[in-house]
Structure 1
Amino acid sequence: LQHHLLETTPNLILKRSVILIRCGLRVSDACTIRFDCLLHDGQGAPYLRYFNNKMSREAAVPIDEEIEAEVRSQQQRVLQRWPDGNPHVFPGLKGNADGTRHFSPDTYRQMLKRWLAQCDVRDENGQPVHLTPHQWRHTFATRLINRDVPQEVVRVLLDHDSHQMTAHYARITDQTVRRRWEAATKVNIRGERVTLNPEGPLAQAEWAKTRYGLATQTLPNGYCGLPVQKSCPHANACLTCPVFLTGPEFLPEPKAQHRRTPTLIDNAKGCGHQRVAEMNEQVAANLDQMITELEADGPQEAADAG
């Protein structure tokens, strides 16, 4: 039975784990997915239908083509063992000759624990990793929040009954992003380090302004520090703008722009566009200062930020 259905223990764990990670399901819901779980909307987009055991109701979550293909592959393995059909995508492994029992969440937890031990997965302190399936649901939620998906959309995707639990993920994510932002190197166009005082009287307001900028004024080479009530009238003038900020995670872009700028200066001078040449010379000088300051912390901070 194990050979027909799931091939190897890593594959067994992987297939359930992918659903937990990419769909945000609880482990009890993932293990009880019905065989006819795939749905499609009018545009042909796939969805995974499941039963929310905590809320005792049907639910569905949009999935990508890769997840759909994995589910269909699992369905075919089930049909090889039960040609007349089976109610579950993941039938139980033992004592289940008729296929009526679903895979046990406790069995999955134990197999995951053994697999992590066999792979010798360790944390940043060299200690064995302790991982629970529900942590992947948290990861799914915080990734959505980090991408600034509206909380109501996150609530629907997680099938939460209230907004309070979804708001909990948003608060945790915001606190994590804030701590990293406060600790990270940030420089302005003059290469001067800019810091936020987490204990100052404007701490909350400064962070709200910064978070808004990160979400709505994304730039390829840094951040915009313009007040939220104002709009920027200058297209592509960031590297001469006093409210522009950047950090180690953006280093490849300033470096690439720094390499391109001498050509722009030469072309402008060759065409007699002295003002354009002067502006690009200022950009080159600012890039020099920013890159020098960002590289002062070494490559490790850039790797951590990325």
Structure 2
Amino acid sequence: MKNLQEINNSKKSKYDEIIEYLKQDNGYWLENDKWDFYSNFEYDLDFAKGKKYLDFNTISNEKLILELKYSLLFGVKNKYFQPIYIISAFQAFLRKIEKYNTENNIESIINIDVNRFKLFLMNIENLTESTTNCYTKYIISFKHILIDFYDEREEVEKDIWYYKKIQGVKIPASDNRGTLNSIDFRVIPEFYRDIVKRYLISFITKRSVSHCQNVYKTIKVFFNIFYKLGYKDGFLKELTRYDIEKYLYTVSNEYKDKNVTYVNKFISYPRTFLEYIQMAQYKEAPKKEASLLIFEDDIPKRERDSDRLKRVKFIPEPILKQLDNNIMDLDRPQFIPIYILLRETGWRGTDILNLRYHNCLEQIWNNKDKDYNYYLCGEITKTGIAELKIPIRDKVAEMIQKTINKTKELSTEENNPNKFLFNIYEGKLKGRPLLKGSLLATVKRLIEEKDIRDINGELYHFKSHSLRHTRAKEYVEQGMGISVIQQILGHRSLQMTVHYATVSENVLYEKWRDTEDLELFKVDIVTNKLIEVDTSTDTGENLIRYEYVKKNLDAVRVPFGVCFKASKLPCKQQMNHCLTCASFCTTTENIPEYEEEIQKVKSQIEISDKFGRELWAEKNKGYLELLQKTLDKVIEHKLVHKNAKSREDS
């Protein structure tokens, strides 16, 4: 390196930060002006025509070298651009920067005028338009990184937010593609940019990053459509139903090839946005009430539960047995414990990959067994559960402990700062968890090797989420209660768990055979006529009872009681608790359930408070109050049923 003391003192502190950043990987990036790019990052060397090295000695200005090094390394490591994007033309770009600097004497990359640089490339260097655009994109990308670096304002005050810099925001550990890096508010019309930022701030630490991205995307489309239609700054305040009808028409045409669930967001999210800025009394908010602008009926109904259920994929039992029996033969052994945990728990792949070796395994005292039981502990990021603990078998716990021990041996603060249980220790993804895509590819090779085929004779197409569906079905078949399955899987609502609450064909046959054994229908095999049953007898009475139950299969056991909803009526409580439903019945025999659930909810409130999840704490407090009120009623009245009598008596 050249003499670092020549750096401008006015930016000395920021340059010190650049130097400190370049010291990573044992100082390789700082001490070397010629980088072996291929050895440090993965890309197709043949596709890049043998290019391996980047030589910064082309640049004579030490300040520019530091800025270029920082921008390049930061951008690649954070996946703002791929290594192949850099290596393909970057060396030639450095030579153009040196020539431009010689003529213009620039002090920093951020001082380069993009249009002026573009004219320089086309008029003086006589480059083609495509080459000029390539070099210009480098400048734009690097300027964005450096402007953010030098800008010392709070992240949420800037026009580009990087999630990693916002305290309290949790990015899924398995987002190895870097699709959840940032939000760029510069695409929002400047007049409304600040209110959109203010709105996102209100929930960015409470909701998932993917949800925030969806809200941002739909609000961006909302404003862009109105501006394309010719509306000007300030239109929001005078918004009318007629204006909204034009927006709805544009959305329906723009996304006519998308499913209703996708289109739903472009109407429901803007409506929620308008409602919020009205309640929060933003000065830019519409004068007319949001519910009179966007009607409830304007929002396309999401997929029916029956349609969603059709997409629930279970792994056929013969294939599942073959996978289980051969899983130890995976050609990449590090994926074996991941498969076993997916198979054992039914958790999502992202949540298994997000496990941390220092807190993922815990022993909890069991009063009934008078012994310690093993629990798997992790965060369920999709539904915002800060800490979920589920029991696991001793053999699985032993496997996890071995994995923990091995991970501890291999991990350092530099190669595994986040303490991932399934960590990548070297290469461009160092410090991140193993890839779900790599797991799928590994299992695919096993399927090919073992020739595991589906009913049509095709090689089985494995999806990790199918293990979740399959495990949920196994829980049901083993007789586990729906509310318990909901807690184990980390579902937000009971209805989501019900999607998986089906049984295999074998179990269905066994249940059907049990009813056949009752011999409720007598057939004369000679005349093929039904034998008349006297309904005054016990047999006849049982037949009547059976016919009633058969017609009311939706009247089922639910948490804390029984649902007497008629089988043809839709369930209005799918996203709520059965406790408030008129079809719900509960008695003193359910008191232990209430007491156990109250303790669990109290524990969840403590955890939510501990991890700063205010929204979840608030929702659980409301649920706790409902539980306690219902329990008090049961204790007082012995039986609580809003319809006053069961469906059978009505």
Q: Normalized against structure 1, the TM-score is what?
A: 0.54
CA distance in 1, matches of 2:378, 2:407: 18
Does structure 1 residue 68 correspond to structure 2 residue 397?
yes
Instruction: State yes or no: 1:51 paired with 2:382.
Output: no
Identity of aligned residues (%): 21
Of 461, 467, 478, which residue of structure 2 is paired with 1:147?
478
Partner amino acid for 2:423? P
Deviation at 1:40, TM superposition (A): 1.5
Shift in Å, 1:129: 1.0
SS at match of 1:42: strand
Residues of 2 paired with 1:144 and 1:134: CA distance? 16
Q: Does 1:29 align with 2:357?
A: no
1:112 is aligned, of 434, 443, 453, to 443
In the alignment, what sits opposite 1:205? 549
Please state how far the C-alpha of 1:10 moved relative to its aligned partner. Answer: 4.9
Asked whether 1:91 is paired with 2:413, we answer no
Question: Given the superposition, is the C-alpha separation of residues 70 and 132 from structure 1 closer, same or farther in structure 2, using an over 3 Å criterion?
Answer: same
Match of 1:289 in 2: none
Of residues 363, 369, 373 in structure 2, which corresponds to 1:40? 363
For 1:139 and 1:7, the matched residues in 2 are separated by 22
Q: Write out aligned runs for 1:1-306 (5 A).
A: 9-36=331-358, 37-43=360-366, 44-58=372-386, 59-82=388-411, 86=416, 87-92=419-424, 94-95=426-427, 100-170=431-501, 172-173=502-503, 177-178=507-508, 181-182=511-512, 205-206=549-550
Q: Distance in 2 between matches of 1:126 and 1:175?
A: 20
CA distance in 1, matches of 2:551, 2:332: 43
Given the superposition, is the C-alpha separation of residues 205 and 184 from structure 1 closer, same or farther in structure 2, using an over 3 Å criterion? closer
Any gaps of 5 or more consecutive residues in structure 1? 1-5, 194-201, 213-306
Q: In structure 2, what is the Cα distance between the partners aligned to 1:22 and 1:111?
A: 19
Distance 2:514 2:329 in 1: 46
- In structure 2, the CA distance between the partners of 1:119 and 1:105, relative to structure 1 (3 Å rule), is same
| Contact persistence 2:330–2:442 (CA under 8 A) | no
CA distance in 2: counterparts of 1:23 and 1:181, whole angstroms? 26
Unaligned runs of 5+ residues in structure 2 are: 1-327, 367-371, 524-545, 557-650
Amino acid paired to 1:25: W
Q: For residues 146 and 62 of structure 1, do their structure 2 counterparts lie closer, same or farther at Cα, with a shift above 3 Å needed?
A: same
Q: Is the 8 A contact 1:154 1:166 kept in 2?
A: yes
Whether the aligned pair in 2 keeps the contact of 1:22 and 1:140 (CA below 8 Å) is yes
Q: After superposition, what is the alpha-carbon deviation per residue over 1:177-212, rounded to whole angstroms, capped at 9, x for unaligned? A: 4466548995579xx99xxxxxxxx77834979xx9
* Distance verdict in 2 for CA 1:174–1:73, change over 3 Å: closer
Q: How big is each residue's C-alpha offset from its partner over 1:120-172, in whole Å with a ceiling of 9 and x where there is no partner?
A: 111244321112111111111111111221111111111111011111222x3
Deviation of residue 57 (structure 1)?
Answer: 2.9
Structure 1 residues 174 and 165, CA gap change in structure 2 (3 angstroms): farther
Equivalent AA in structure 2 for residue 80 of structure 1: E
Counterpart code for 1:114: R
Post-superposition Cα deviations, 1:208-255, rounded to whole Å, max 9, x if no partner, equal 79xx9xxxxxxxxxxxxxxxxxxxxxxxxxxxxxxxxxxxxxxxxxxx
Question: For 2:476, what is the secondary structure of its paired residue?
Answer: helix
Contact conserved, 1:34 with 1:89, CA < 8 A, in 2?
yes
Per the TM alignment, residue 82 of structure 1 is displaced from its structure 2 partner at its CA by: 2.5
How far apart, CA to CA, are the structure 2 residues paired with 1:82 and 1:93? 8
1: CA distance, partners of 2:408 / 2:516? 57
Secondary structure of the 2:500 match is helix
Once the two structures are TM-superposed, the CA of residue 61 in structure 1 deviates from its matched residue by 1.6
